[in-house]
Amino acid sequence: MKLTSAQIDRVLDQFQAEVIPSDSPVLPELEEVFGLHTFFLAREGLHLVDRSPSTNSVKHPAFVVRVAAWWEEEASLMPTDPQVIVAVDLSGAESVEPDV
């Protein structure tokens, strides 16, 4: 899922990582492999945020999911089976930002 700036801030308040900027040259390749998401790099690897499979996603948490781990002394990322790392609360950051 693509996150708004407010949602990104909420995730970063709860999970230590760096967001991959939307103008990063690696973003098209990541989106080709993993779909349209906001991506986060952390010590453990590449992460994205996804909602619970519940149909009422506003009341249910989102999850930080690791989709790739560092490989060869942190020189590159290797896709892995998705692993939920932590639940994050996105409440209060649900508004959609206008396109600029």
Residue 70's closest CA among 95, 38, 35, 45? 45
The residue whose two tokens read 């930002």 is 97
pLDDT value at 97 more than 50: no
**This prediction's pTM:** 0.82
Residue 68's closest CA among 24, 13, 26, 11? 26
Of the chain, the percentage scoring pLDDT greater than 90 comes to 65
Structure tokens at 61: 């948490």
pLDDT value at 12 more than 70: yes
